[in-house]
Chains A and B, each alone.
Chain A
Amino acid sequence: MELYNGPLDTKEIFGRWLDEQAESNYGAYIPFVGTIRAEDDIEALSFDIYEPVLQKWFDEWQKKAAALGAVVKMAHSIGDVPVHTSSYVSAVFSPKRRVALELIDEFVEDFKANAPIWKYDVKNGERIYAADRSTPMNGAGLLQ
């Protein structure tokens, strides 16, 4: 798991991951890139991350992937990420395509639902929590 301040250098990350696994005999490598779209007059999105819980979440996914003979990778931005740049990339390597295609779907969806990351719109230099696009994590409401 890799965290960076500001936008991701997607080509460097994907190229490096590919090089790292060049001799691993994986038949499938499926990358996912999340790019900031220009909408609602935003200048950027901005992110807070709680790394200790994110790391545990990711460790569980590595175990789940390993049980299928696969590897999951991810990188995410902290702080401001301008429109038309990338804040999130992930990838799955697996011996054959079907496992990777299914895992990238599950992994990205669970990431959206349960990775402890908070998103803000940046407008006129101000950070506004994206409350209407955010999802309560599993177990939410315990203390109510």
Chain B
Amino acid sequence: MVKVEFLGPIGKAPMEMEAATLADVSTQLKKDTSLIQWLDKCAVALNDTMVNDLTTELKDGDRVSILPPVCGG
């Protein structure tokens, strides 16, 4: 199982799911209508490191963070 957490304004409780790669996470998140407005704008971190490849492999206990558009300062 991997844990998917939604940061900042997304305001959604974390989810747990079976996923071998980030592409599997994508497939499952796209089924969630509450995320439709977010996924095209969000970046992704795996265990707190930013990632940019859908083929990234996941292992049990991994934590995937979904980061919406930012505005610090």
Contact = CB atoms under 8 A, between A and B. Distances in A.
Contacts of B42: 136, 140-143
Interface string A106-122: 00100111111111100
B29 A143 contact: yes
A56 B39 CA distance: 23
Given A50-B7, A52-B48, A129-B9, A142 B69 contact: no
Given A53-B45, A56-B48, A117 B40 contact: no
Interface string B18-31: 00001001100110
B39 A134 contact: no
A111 B72 CA distance: 7
A135 interface: yes
B69 A53 contact: no
Contacts of A143: 22, 25-26, 29-30, 39, 42, 44, 54, 66
B8 A34 contact: no
A126 interface: no
Interface residues of A, number: 36
A48 interface: yes
B46 to A, nearest CB: 11
State the main secondary structure of chain A at its contact with B: mixed
B71 interface: yes
B1 interface: no
Interface in A51-92: 52-53, 56, 76, 87-88
Interface string B48-63: 1111111000000000
B40 A144 contact: yes
A144 B73 contact: no
Nearest to B42: A140
Interface of A: 34, 47-48, 50, 52-53, 56, 76, 87-88, 108, 111-120, 129-131, 133-144
26 contacts: A47-B72, A48-B7, A48-B8, A48-B9, A50-B8, A50-B67, A53-B49, A56-B49, A56-B50, A112-B71, A112-B72, A113-B70, A118-B8, A118-B70, A131-B9, A133-B71, A136-B43, A137-B50, A137-B70, A138-B52, A140-B41, A141-B41, A142-B26, A143-B26, A143-B44, A143-B54
